[in-house]
């Protein structure tokens, strides 16, 4: 079993992109997961800028894993809006993001964006239907582009709906596109009351999970809170996980660089320990 470990690039957005690449590579990450608003002025994705980002990553020998924080900018997007103009603008932008991911050499897009999937009071069923139609369009675009579009379940305190892998998987099944799948954010799952390791084990065994965000429900990086990541890594390894993973903290103490370094050291330490102590179980090799 093998996967790659990326760093969500907004953690070190104080650095220019070349330095982000060099720093992430130097401390042990395989790739960067990019929040588009940190490198572009959405909705504009100039070809020269895309080429420059690819060159910078290649020069440091680090991959561009994929994209996340998809609809944070520009303002006014929504996958649930009953306004036809908003829906059309959001669909167009989503397709442009899929194309951007492919052009950057990424493999996946993580759709969280809770503020852009709010349900209008009294129109919940319509909002959910519009969201499903949006995800169907993104699955089709992703399949054509050779990437995968991932629905991210979020905790009830952050999102109006899609609170579990099961709920996201129901949309994936209804759409039936090879370009659409789901993932798990450890912090969101814990905030929703899940036993994260147990749920990951079940979901990986069922073939549901294609990506994982490593973070603690306190908003900090893995190892900086009460969520134990040893059982999480065991659940992935024991169920043959072969997807991707990324470190996505939201609180950086004392700063982003220190947070990123602590997270990768903690995770790789756990992986190395398990590899040495439990040889019959394949280690999660990053």
Kindly report, residue by residue over 194-218, the tens digit of the pLDDT: 999 999 999 999 999 999 999 999 9
Q: What is the mean pLDDT of residues 176-190?
A: 98
Q: Whole-angstrom Cα distance, residue 271 to residue 278?
A: 10
Collapsing DSSP to helix, strand or coil, 111 comes out as strand
What is the C-alpha R_g of the chain? Answer: 18
Q: What is the pTM of this model?
A: 0.94
Q: Whole-angstrom Cα distance, residue 181 to residue 79?
A: 17
Using the 8-state DSSP alphabet, how is residue 36 labeled?
G
Kindly report, residue by residue over 9-44, the tens digit of the pLDDT: 999 999 999 999 999 999 999 999 999 999 999 999
Q: Are 191 and 218 in contact (CB under 8 A)?
A: no
Kindly report, residue by residue over 163-173, the tens digit of the pLDDT: 999 999 999 99
The CB-based long-range contact list for 88-94 (8 Å cut-off, 24+ gap) reads: 90/116, 90/134, 91/134, 91/137, 93/42, 93/43, 94/70, 94/134, 94/137, 94/138, 94/141
Collapsing DSSP to helix, strand or coil, 165 comes out as helix
- Band (pLDDT 50/70/90 cuts) for residue 274 is low
The strand pair at 209-214 and 63-67 is best described as unpaired
The sign of the torsion formed by the CA atoms of 92, 94, 100, 102 equals: negative
Share of the chain above pLDDT 90, in %: 93
Q: Whole-angstrom Cα distance, residue 7 to residue 260?
A: 7
Kindly report, residue by residue over 114-170, the tens digit of the pLDDT: 999 999 999 999 999 999 999 999 999 999 999 999 999 999 999 999 999 999 999
- Angstrom CA distances, 27 to 7, 30, 80, stand at 10, 10, 40
How far is residue 19 CA from its own chain's centroid? 22
Q: What is residue 282's predicted lDDT score, i.e. its pLDDT?
A: 36
Query: At residue 250, does pLDDT exceed 80?
Result: yes
- Band (pLDDT 50/70/90 cuts) for residue 3 is confident
Domains observed in the chain: 5-277 (3.20.20.150)
């Amino acid at each position: 079993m093998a996967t790659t470990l990326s760093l969500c690039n907004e953690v070190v957005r104080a650095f220019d992109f070349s330095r982000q690449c060099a720093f992430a590579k130097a401390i042990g990450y395989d790739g960067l997961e990019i929040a588009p608003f940190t490198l572009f002025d959405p909705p504009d994705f100039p070809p020269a800028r895309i080429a420059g980002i690819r060159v910078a990553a290649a020069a440091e020998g680090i991959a561009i894993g994929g994209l996340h924080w998809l609809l944070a900018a520009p303002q006014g997007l929504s996958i649930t809006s009953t306004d036809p103009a908003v829906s059309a603008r959001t669909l167009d932008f989503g397709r442009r993001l899929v194309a951007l991911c492919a052009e950057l050499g990424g493999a996946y897009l993580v759709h969280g964006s809770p503020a852009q999937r709010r349900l209008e009071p009294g129109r919940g069923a319509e909002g959910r239907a519009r969201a499903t139609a949006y995800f169907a369009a993104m699955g089709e675009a992703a399949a054509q582009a050779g990437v995968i579009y991932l629905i991210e379940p979020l905790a009830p305190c952050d999102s109006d709906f899609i609170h579990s892998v099961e709920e996201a998987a129901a949309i994936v099944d209804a759409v039936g596109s090879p370009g659409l799948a789901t993932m798990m954010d450890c912090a969101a799952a814990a905030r929703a009351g899940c036993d994260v390791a147990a749920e990951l084990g079940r979901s990986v065994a069922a073939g549901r999970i294609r990506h994982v965000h490593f973070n603690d429900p306190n908003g900090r990086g893995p190892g900086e809170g009460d969520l134990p990541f040893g059982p999480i890594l065991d659940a992935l390894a024991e169920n043959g996980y072969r997807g991707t993973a990324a470190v996505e903290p939201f609180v950086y103490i004392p700063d982003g660089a220190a947070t990123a370094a602590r997270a990768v050291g903690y995770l790789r330490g756990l992986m190395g320990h398990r590899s040495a102590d439990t040889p019959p179980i394949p280690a999660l090799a990053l």
